[in-house]
Structure 1
Amino acid sequence: MKHLETAYKTHDGKELYLQAWMADVPKAAMLLVHGLGEHSSRYLHLVEKLNEAGVSVFTFDGRGHGKSAKVKPDAFFESADDYLKDIDALFGKVKSYSPGLPAFIYGHSMGGGLVAAYVLKYKPEAAGVVLSSPAIKEAEGTSKILIALSSMISKYFPKLKALKLDANKVSRIPEEVQKYLQDPFVYTEAIPARTGYELLQLMNYIQGNASEFNLPLLLIHGSDDGLTNPKGSELLFENAKSADKTLKIFPGGYHELINDLDRDEVMNLIVSWIEIRLA
């Protein structure tokens, strides 16, 4: 497999780190959108399986993340709409780089929420969408007062470190948690207020427009995910008007299913789901 790296200048002048792994005999292409605080190089083991199946994978480090961060990752971005514009531009590049091939989109966690919102707002022509532990619904019991305050905090203190995520909920495998914590390109501090507020608005939008989702869809989530709410995946699955939709809940699964105890089954499911739609 051939690895490519480059930079992309966004509509508002930011520079994003892009990379791609090209299949030897490509049958399809995929844009992969990573999760909150992490970066695109953490998916190499999944990419290898996709490449073996003939799927070239294009991905990027999002605003404030990984190698796209100016100094070091801070997980900060001003606007989810800007992030959606990035996804739209890069999905266009994927399609132009792989003319005539079916193009898929994969999103994990925050990336899953962004991809779901992108499909709803932009109506892209895609062969299918894979959403892994997508951020679609806030955690059960989230304080309504806190939600109401989030708008004001985001406006006046956008970079205030507001919400700390528990890294131990990433995986049931201790070594995977340690890899996550020791990766210099993973942001593990509290999430900035603006980022959190923008994601909350994004989730509200998806919940209110889920019935407009009409692309082939594979949703995967762990039943014990403590970072994104599995009920969000159930909500999208129940409301999406896609004729071709699949929901797989992994019993006991934590947040990063491709790095959890069921990872082989999870990755095989993703690859086989795509292969079936290429047949």
Structure 2
Amino acid sequence: MATDHADQTGIKYEEEFIKNPRGLKLFTCKWLPENRDPKALIFMCHGTGMRLAKEGYEVHGIDYEGHGKSSGLQGFVPSFKNIIDDCFEHFVSVCEKGKNKNKARYLLGESMGGAVALLLHRKQPSFWNGAILVAPMCKIADELKPHPMVISILSRLSNVFPTWRIVPMQDIIDVAFKSMEKRQEIRANPLCYKGRPRLKTAHQLLMVSLEIEKNLNQVSLPFLIVHGGDDIVTDPSVSKLLYDTALSKDKTFKLYPGMWHALTSAEPPESIDLVFSDIIAWLDERTLTSSEHLRSSEMEQKAMHDGLLSGKNI
């Protein structure tokens, strides 16, 4: 089932439920500019696409299993690999549509979505044209990580009582969102899970963050990292480490002093505008280059084709 509507901003919004191979219904959505051909495709691992759609990009999103409007026990991630597979299959299906085959494709991941974006890149390194990583979860911040002894015990318990909500952790909402209004909005939203992390979910996140941290030097796609300087949920120094060690030749790291974790949604409007202007500038520059490269390649193929035909006529 799919629904869509357009608003007065010139943005068309559509949503649809799809079924994954495990029989779960997953919520998907997209934002696209009306009456114009999108510049490129952006696949969101977490976030909202309105701002980017206003700038001419077609943005696709998906709610993970157990998150948002998708099926599954709320806040429960039995396997991070399943999340990666669900995202990859949906995103690739969008890219394979005829009108999209020649469009540049970018990943955008915020917080845990940053980990998803990095793992999607690792699954198919040459498939994506680039990634925007917003305060990415490359490592659980030391301030939020349980004691090593607690981690060891919880790891064993996660296989016995996977859905139990007993993992000790600081209230993320209070330390992630600077805006009090945003905190109230999230606490009032029944689709946002606000309980303690479930045992299996916490274990999966920990294992994934350790895996990513260990393989930072294997990242090879073009990327932009934006991170708040006062973020204590995900560590800005690890984002800097990713920037320093990644194989990517095209990489950019922007640190915003004084900003917290939710730097695209819970900062003062002028700060949010600054972050988005940097993201859009980065995308526009690479999308133009990508389009020119595509046109150049098409012209070369045409010239070769014309030459071959000319040769046949001699």
Q: For residues 58-73 of structure 1, what are the structure 2 equivalents within 5 Å?
A: 58-70=60-72
In 2: Cα distance, 1:239 partner to 1:137 partner: 15
Count of residue correspondences: 267
Q: In the alignment, what sits opposite 1:271?
A: 280
How far off its partner does 1:69 sit?
A: 3.5
In 2: Cα distance, 1:124 partner to 1:145 partner: 39
Q: Considering only CA atoms, is the larger Rg found in Structure 1 or Structure 2?
A: 2
Letter in 2 for 1:158: P
Post-superposition Cα deviations, 1:113-170, rounded to whole Å, max 9, x if no partner, equal 1111221233251111011111111222642212222321211111111244331122
In the alignment, which of 102, 105, 109 is matched to residue 103 of structure 1?
105
Report if aligned partners of 1:76, 1:194 keep a CA contact under 8 Å in 2. Answer: yes
RMSD: 1.6
In the alignment, which of 23, 26, 31 is matched to residue 21 of structure 1?
31
Q: In the alignment, what sits opposite 2:299?
A: none
Q: In the alignment, what sits opposite 1:256?
A: 262
Moved over 6 A (4+): none
Q: In the alignment, what sits opposite 2:14?
A: 4
Q: In the alignment, what sits opposite 1:202?
A: 208
In 1: Cα distance, 2:157 partner to 2:235 partner: 23
Q: In the alignment, what sits opposite 1:30?
A: 42
How far off its partner does 1:201 sit?
A: 0.9
In 2: Cα distance, 1:138 partner to 1:49 partner: 28
Q: For residues 70-89 of structure 1, what are the structure 2 equivalents within 5 Å?
A: 70=72, 74-89=74-89
In 2: Cα distance, 1:167 partner to 1:29 partner: 30
Would the alpha carbon gap of residues 178 and 271 (structure 1) be closer, same or farther in structure 2, given more than 3 Å must change? same
Is the partner of 1:155 in helix, strand or coil?
coil
Q: For residues 1-279 of structure 1, what are the structure 2 equivalents within 5 Å?
A: 1-24=11-34, 25=36, 26-34=38-46, 43=48, 47-70=49-72, 74-97=74-97, 98-140=100-142, 142=145, 143-161=147-165, 162-164=167-169, 165-259=171-265, 260-261=267-268, 262-279=271-288
Is the partner of 2:77 in helix, strand or coil?
coil
Report if aligned partners of 1:216, 1:243 keep a CA contact under 8 Å in 2. Answer: yes
Structure 1 residue runs of 5 or longer lacking an equivalent are 35-39
Q: Percent identity?
A: 28
Is the partner of 2:96 in helix, strand or coil?
helix
TM-score if structure 2 supplies the norm length?
A: 0.81
Post-superposition Cα deviations, 1:54-98, rounded to whole Å, max 9, x if no partner, equal 21000011111111035xx72111100111101211220231242
Letter in 1 for 2:114: G
RCO comparison, higher one (Cα < 8 Å, 6+): 1
Report if aligned partners of 1:31, 1:94 keep a CA contact under 8 Å in 2. Answer: no
How far off its partner does 1:52 sit?
A: 2.4
In 2: Cα distance, 1:236 partner to 1:15 partner: 34
In 2: Cα distance, 1:61 partner to 1:129 partner: 19
Report if aligned partners of 2:24, 2:71 keep a CA contact under 8 Å in 1. Answer: no
Q: Which moved more, 1:219-228 or 1:142-151?
A: 142-151
Report if aligned partners of 1:53, 1:275 keep a CA contact under 8 Å in 2. Answer: no
Letter in 1 for 2:62: F
How far off its partner does 1:235 sit?
A: 2.1
